[in-house]
Amino acid sequence: MPKQQNGPKEDSTIQNDLNESFEEEVRAFLSDEEKLHLFDDLTKVNPVTTTTVLKCLQARYTVNLFYTNAGCSLVALNPFQPVSYLYSPELMREYHVALRPQDLKPHIFAVAEQTYRNVQSQIAPVNQSIIVSGESGAGKTWTSRCLMKFYASVAAPVISHKGNETVERIEKRVLDSNPVMEAFGNACTLRNNNSSRFGKYIQLQLDRCHHLTSASIRTFLLEKTRVAYQAPSERNFHIFYQITKGATAEERLEWNLPEGAEYRWLPNSESNLDEDCFEVTRDAMFHLGIDHSTQNNIFKVLSGLLHLGNIQFSNPEDESQPCELEDKTKDSMKAAGALLHIPVEELLESLRIRTITAGKQQQVFKKPCSRAECETRRDCLAKVIYAKLFEWLVLVINESIYADPSAWTNFIGLLDVYGFEAFPENNLEQLCINYANEKLQQHFVAHYLKAQQEEYAAEGLQWSFISYQDNQKCLDLIEGNPLSIFSLLNEECRLNRSSNTDLFQTRIEKALSNNQCLSRNKFSKKPNFIISHYAGKVCYQLAAMVEKNKDPIAPELIQVLQNSKDPLLQKLFPVTERNQTNIKPQNRAAVVTVVAKFKGSLEHLMQILNSTTPHYIRCIKPNADCKAMTFKREEVLSQLQACGIVEAITISAAGFPVRIPLQSFTERYEILRTSCGSNKNRGCDKSNYHTAEQNGNTPVADDGRASRSLVFEILQNVIGQTAAEQTGNRAENTSVYCGKTKVFMVNSVLEQLEARRAEVLNEKAFCIQCCWKRFKQRKLAKERWSATVIQAAVRSWLAKNRFQRMRRAARVIKHGWRKWKAKMAALAAAELDEGEEKGFSVPGATLISANPPCSLETTWPLQAIIQFWPLGLVLAAAPITVTGPRRDLCLLACLKVLQENDCYKVESCFFGCGITSIRALPQGSVKFHCKKSPLHYADVSPHMDAYSITGFNQILLDRKKPLPT
């Protein structure tokens, strides 16, 4: 009994001691404030508490370090001032080319590069999503814009000049979609100068080479009520201020926007913001394929909406008569009708008179509208035109940047939605916005905080559950079945009567009183209800909430827009919609409300996010006044607690951020198995599998054991340690754990596996390259040898043919030559003199007498042979007038000169071949030429060593040997 009484006291004492020791650890950690800014990853903070995390973030914010890793997410603090060096192209390149981007400073570029490398590694799920969340004014839009610039920079292929031009055009169009969407969808609010009044999910689509090929944009719930209503100190959409401030004088005249004019729907126009840049919007629209004429048409319609907002009505004297236009607004009515190309009478009638169809015979009645109804119809007309225009712009942008699904394989999604909002007066728009944030928070909780811990327990890992804030009850209150706020709103819209806000408030309290997240502000006279969101309590007013959910559009308004002569309005409101508008009022159960459409689109978005690998960027707003370098701890702490950052840090520090199924692990890292008998083991495993199948046994358990053994072998070879067994207890410093169906590991182990896999792949690739080059070299050598053999054979054949042709040609030439030679010899012989020559007496020689003539068969004395060529020439050159002895003396003198020169001498030998004849003596004077002679061998010069001719011109000689006798 004493022990039982003292038990609670002892437990409380132990708890107090633990609390004191924990507080001492916190104080010891915070004592060294100079080193707090060095903690770039909050999982390294020990102990992890809201105080220590807040102190580290404040210390880093003070030294201009705005990004901090928080386990599975990145915390981004808004500096509220331009920091150009943080988003330069050089920094993008640095994070892209880094071997380990996580070793660099925390940055949104590190998250973007991680998603890009996940797509390259093809680890399921391959598709990636980056969810940028935070309050309004925390910097979500700027973060999404920088992420798009990063992907447009690093995903551009460098293949060919033509390819670069194509991708550059796609990059330009993807980036140019930002200023257009922000101009038409963003506005200045109390909490942010550039607040997104719609949600968007951008898919950046990559091809097989992981290059940016196309993109698509999906939008959610545009706040179209802002066109006709702006809260105090807030502004309309940026585009209205851009056209009023940036239009030229000619455009002002064409759009009927006189300078200095006032418009009811354009409050706070005197304030100048960076977003009021008209030229940037126009250039971006032109790059997206919207030509100048279409832009001019768009801006004319927007100017018409501004004039439409200036139209005001006054109560008629007779209630049966329609409301009258105020005199000061008649010009605005004319201007609106002219800009919208709608006749003023038709436009005025559609605003003031309501058409009612009743009875089986569909009788039509016209009833004048009250002043409030006229203003409501005016606002409704402006809202429907702007909403259709925004949808058309999104469609045009998608047509400009989208490609066929066969052209891309994977995508990286960027989600930028409106932040959590809590204004003094909140209505249906804020309810939908906060509902979207609740869904994203629930996705974060389900994916990281809840699912991970349940998975650890299911896989057999010893795990002590960490408590966290679950917002499932809040979601059940908003969207649950069968009763929720959305279901009650939709049911109220289906009733064929006007809604009573007091009764509707009572219905909500009775139907949902069991939910602790619902309450009411009892001190407010207006009907309201309060929802306890994950980020805090928000009070919603019920006034006009049901009407906004119905989103009614009078058929007269649609008809007058369909009858417009404006080409843009004809695109936005085609005539084919007229039948649909007539059918809708008959079937009230088929009315699609605003919350129903928004819930359906959000559920489709969540399906996409659940099929991808999510990455979270938590944008934190340091102060509510948007002041630079001002850190308010209370506001930051509330945001950290609301989004569950501390719990996420605790789970990430104690758990395994990487989880890969066994089959995927073995398929990807089986190449790291280095055992000698791996091939044999694989063959044995396959044979055992088939044997088990034949025997009718299920090999699932054996496959599981084989897969785990293979995992252990791979991990042992790579990191040098054995993974914790599935049935064993988890060690304190275990970095990898093999569960029943998955392998759990920390990021460092995954990096080692990937690095080793890259090395092995490089080795295999080098081996393949060597084998391929060797094969190519051998093939080339064989081809060269074959070519040499073929060339040798061809050359031999050609040489043989050439030789044979030359041989035949030589025979023909030889035969022709001989024939020609014989013919020339016969001709030369025929030309010779046939007369007999007289002999001359020469000292030392016997002269041959020319009389009587001697035949060729005559045998000449040996010493009476003289070549008669010079003799004939002497006789021909002798003086004709001289006769008698004097002539003989002249001849003898000539012969003596020849003998002295040893050119022609008298031979005493017998020459039996006969003599050469001389030509007939010429008549008259003789001229000697060096021309070719028709005689055979006449061109052959005599041997100079035997005789030399001097004193005479060179003559043409006959062959040395005389003709045969």
Helix runs in 248-370, H state only: 249-255, 278-287, 292-309, 330-340, 344-352
What does the alpha-carbon distance between residue 239 and residue 275 come to, in Å, rounded to a whole number? 9
Of 752, 723, 719, 716, nearest to 737 by C-alpha is 723
User: What percent of the chain is modeled with pLDDT above 90?
Assistant: 36
Coil, helix or strand for 689? helix
Cα-to-chain-centroid distance, residue 45: 39
The answer for residues whose C-beta is within 8 angstroms of residue 812's C-beta and 6 or more apart is: none
Within 13 Å of residue 24, how many CA atoms lie on the same side as its CB? Answer: 6
Can you give the three-state secondary structure of 217-234, one letter per residue?
EEEECCCHHHHCCCCCCC
User: What percent of the chain is modeled with pLDDT above 70?
Assistant: 76
Q: Omega before 47 cis (within 30°)?
A: yes
Which of 182-186, 451-455, 473-477, 665-669 is the least confident region? Answer: 451-455
In one-letter notation, the amino acid at residue 175 is: L
The pLDDT, as a whole number, for residue 707 is 75
Q: Using one digit for the tens of pLDDT, what is the confidence trace for 684-717?
A: 444 443 433 444 444 445 566 777 788 888 888 8
What does the alpha-carbon distance between residue 277 and residue 438 come to, in Å, rounded to a whole number? 34
Interval 854-861 mean pLDDT: 44
| Predicted confidence band of residue 880 (pLDDT cuts 50, 70, 90) | low
Of 180, 197, 179, nearest to 188 by C-alpha is 197
To the nearest 10°, the Cα dihedral for 453, 454, 456, 459? Answer: 180
What does the alpha-carbon distance between residue 129 and residue 433 come to, in Å, rounded to a whole number? 20
The pLDDT, as a whole number, for residue 519 is 93
**Strand 410-416 versus strand 128-134 pairing type:** parallel
CB atoms within 10 A of CB 420: 26
Cβ atoms of 837 and 868 closer than 8 Å: yes
- Please state, in angstroms and as integers, the Cα–Cα distance from residue 627 to each residue in 556, 621, 623, following that order: 49, 10, 7
The pLDDT, as a whole number, for residue 680 is 43
The pLDDT, as a whole number, for residue 879 is 60
Higher-pLDDT residue of 76, 5: 76
Which of 149-158, 283-292, 624-633 is the least confident region? Answer: 149-158
Average pLDDT, the chain: 79
Of 917, 802, 804, nearest to 854 by C-alpha is 917
The answer for residues whose C-beta is within 8 angstroms of residue 402's C-beta and 6 or more apart is: 214, 215, 216
The pLDDT, as a whole number, for residue 1 is 36
Interval 752-766 mean pLDDT: 88
Of 580, 588, 582, nearest to 355 by C-alpha is 582
C-alpha triplet 946, 948, 953: angle, nearest 5°: 145
CB atoms within 10 A of CB 51: 17
| Predicted confidence band of residue 250 (pLDDT cuts 50, 70, 90) | very high
The pLDDT, as a whole number, for residue 22 is 65
Long-range (24+ apart) CB contacts under 8 A made by 468-472 are 468/644, 468/647, 469/445, 469/534, 469/641, 469/644, 469/647, 470/445, 471/438, 471/441, 471/442, 471/445, 471/533, 471/534, 472/442
Within 13 Å of residue 710, how many CA atoms lie on the same side as its CB? Answer: 25
Give me the helix-helix angle, 428-444 and 594-610, nearest 10°: 20
Higher-pLDDT residue of 579, 194: 194
The answer for residues whose C-beta is within 8 angstroms of residue 739's C-beta and 6 or more apart is: 459, 460, 461, 726
The answer for residues whose C-beta is within 8 angstroms of residue 148's C-beta and 6 or more apart is: 174, 175, 178, 202, 204, 414
What does the alpha-carbon distance between residue 446 and residue 440 come to, in Å, rounded to a whole number? 10
| Predicted confidence band of residue 770 (pLDDT cuts 50, 70, 90) | very high
Interval 455-479 mean pLDDT: 81
Interval 351-366 mean pLDDT: 79
Sign of the alpha-carbon dihedral angle for 706, 711, 716, 717: positive
| Predicted confidence band of residue 832 (pLDDT cuts 50, 70, 90) | confident
Interval 381-408 mean pLDDT: 92
What does the alpha-carbon distance between residue 515 and residue 502 come to, in Å, rounded to a whole number? 20
Q: Which two tokens stand for residue 854?
A: 């001697």
DSSP 143: H
Q: Is the pLDDT of residue 61 over 90?
A: yes
pTM: 0.69
Within 13 Å of residue 959, how many CA atoms lie on the same side as its CB? Answer: 15
Interval 130-134 mean pLDDT: 91
Give me the helix-helix angle, 747-831 and 700-719, nearest 10°: 80
The pLDDT, as a whole number, for residue 416 is 87
What does the alpha-carbon distance between residue 339 and residue 297 come to, in Å, rounded to a whole number? 9
The pLDDT, as a whole number, for residue 798 is 93
Q: Is the pLDDT of residue 804 over 50?
A: yes
What secondary structure does DSSP assign to 779-841, as a single string? HHHHHHHHHHHHHHHHHHHHHHHHHHHHHHHHHHHHHHHHHHHHHHHHHHHHHS--S------
What does the alpha-carbon distance between residue 558 and residue 568 come to, in Å, rounded to a whole number? 14
The pLDDT, as a whole number, for residue 151 is 92
Q: Is the pLDDT of residue 960 over 80?
A: no
Cα-to-chain-centroid distance, residue 555: 45
The pLDDT, as a whole number, for residue 675 is 46
Q: Is the pLDDT of residue 766 over 60?
A: yes
Q: Which helix (H) or strand (E) holds 181?
A: helix 161-185
Q: Using one digit for the tens of pLDDT, what is the confidence trace for 711-746?
A: 888 888 887 755 544 433 444 557 788 888 888 887
The pLDDT, as a whole number, for residue 364 is 77
Give me the helix-helix angle, 678-695 and 700-719, nearest 10°: 170
Q: Omega before 125 cis (within 30°)?
A: yes
Q: Is the pLDDT of residue 300 over 90?
A: yes
Residue 187 backbone dihedrals phi, psi, to 5 degrees: -150, 165
